[in-house]
Structure formats: structure tokens, C-alpha cells
Amino acid sequence: MRQRQSIRIPWRFGTATSAALLVALLVAVAAAPASADRIDGTARTAHTVHAYEKARARVDRLKDERAPAERVRSAEDRRKTLRDRLWDELRRSQRALYDPVAVDRSGRAGRCPRGKSPKKKGSWQTPVANYWLTAGFAAGGDRWRHRHTGQDFAVNSGTPVRSVGPGTVWATTCGDGFGNQVLVRHRDGYFTQYAHLSRIDVRKGQRVTAGRRLGLSGATGNVTGPHLHFEVRITPYLGSAVPPLPWLARHGVRVR
């Protein structure tokens, strides 16, 4: 699904072009007062996502270098502060938009189709076994306005969708543009999202191992055909996605 939000200041353009765009933007915002808050908030959110990823990379680097504990701790504090800020901003904005992840995490109101998942032992893996990659993560630039927030895996409906790593089910929801979806929280604090499922096989709060079946792929929500939409997020909320394939690579999973 594509994000329904936002603008980004094109830093790479020349000063004259940027000034002209800024004027055009101010005119546009003035002409649409009802949406001004959202535009403003989302531009700030995109900046915080970027800052968080830099802070997290710095923590990893300091740990690798065996830096003094005090420096690691202060870098950790910065990372956590940024995550808390992002979490607060997005929870507020997503509640206002009735995002089910922010409103009803157990999907009760949406009556999601349910199944059961057998226990399984496994190691970090791709969310589906046989796939071809379609739409990838669009980091921004001129596609920002309608940017793609995850990685699509084209699979037939009914394909088992598995948790990429160990974690806890944060939410199972249905009924919005993502259709039936599962969100899993992992130990490194990131969340993975599995959307457009035809059936959900886990419950909110359930612990899952790597490879545990979360549900079956499908074509629910805002889609043109069956596929798995997979995201990696800093918070449970839309708007905090990061490039999913580098994140999987950090866990030893190659996607090709």
C-alpha cells in the first residue's frame, strides 16, 4: 500500500528552484488550512525517522569499536529519545486517521478471518519461501508523496507467511487499506508488518519464533492482485518505515 501523506523539501535542487518551490508550498498550505497540520507533522516525522536510523547506526558502531560505556550509553539515550518522539507523534496522528493499529490492536472490530498456527523452530528467514520481488521501498525523493513504504513479495494467495525472526505479536488488524495484517515486535525494538493476508493465524500478545506461520497471503485491502506487503518500522505505526532489505541483511537474511 502507498502512504497517504506528505511532502519533502527537495534539498538537492538549486536555491532558486527551492525558493520557488517553497513559495508554491506556502501558497498550497495557505489554500488548504485543514490539511496543514498533517503536512507539517509528516515532514517532521520523516526527518525523525532519518535521525533515528543514524542514531541506531552510531550505537551499533560504538559497540563494534568497544567504545567507553559512557559514550555508548549517551548514544543509546539519543536513540531512545528519538524513538519516543516518533512514537508519540505517530500514535497521535494515526489515531486521528482511525488507523486500526493505533485504535484496535486485536482486530475485534474488523472480525479478521482466523486460523491456527503450529509451533515451529527456525532461524531468521524471508517472510515467504518462494517469491519474486515487485515494488521495493522508495526512500523519498520525488516519489515521496506517494512513496511505497515496504517491500512487496509476489506470491499466490494462500502461501504461508512466516515471522522473519523471533518476537511478540503486537497487533492483528483488518479492514483498512492494508487488509488483514500482523505486526510483530522484535528484540532489537523494530517491528515487522505483514499485510494483505487472506487469514490470520496468531493472536495479539502471542510469542512467535522465527518461521512461525502468521497467516496466509492474500489480496485483502487496497491491492490490485495477491502479494505480501512487508515493512520494517521503528514504531508500530505507518510513517516510521525504514528500508526492509538492509534490516533483514543485518539479521543475516539475504533477499534476492
Question: Closest-CB residue for Zn ion?
Answer: 229
Size of the site for Zn ion (CB under 5 A): 3
Contact partners, residue 125, CB within 8 Å, separation at least 6:
162, 164, 165, 210, 211, 253
Closest distance to Zn ion from the beta carbon of 186 (Å): 20
Q: What is the DSSP letter of 65?
A: T
The grid coordinates listed for 45 are: 516525522
Candidate segments 13-21, 23-31, 80-88, 144-152, binder of Zn ion by CB under 5 A: 144-152
Q: Does 152 bind Zn ion (CB under 5 A)?
A: yes
Buried b (16+ CB within 10 A) or exposed e, 150-187: bbbbbbebebbbbbbbbbbbbbbbbbbbbbbbbbbbbe
Residue with Cβ nearer Zn ion (127 or 150):
150
Q: Which amino acid is at 252?
A: G
Closest distance to Zn ion from the beta carbon of 219 (Å): 12
Q: Does 176 bind Zn ion (CB under 5 A)?
A: no
Closest distance to Zn ion from the beta carbon of 233 (Å): 13
Closest distance to Zn ion from the beta carbon of 152 (Å): 4
Using alpha carbons, list the distances in angstroms from residue 17 to 21, 69, 140, 146, 156: 6, 46, 18, 22, 45
Q: Which residue has the cell 510469542?
A: 207
Candidate segments 20-28, 152-160, 175-183, 209-217, binder of Zn ion by CB under 5 A: 152-160
Query: Which run of H or E residues covers position 192?
Result: strand 191-197
Residue with Cβ nearer Zn ion (94 or 117):
94
Using CB under 5 A, which residues numbered 218 to 237 contact Zn ion?
229
Binding site for Zn ion (CB under 5 A): 150, 152, 229
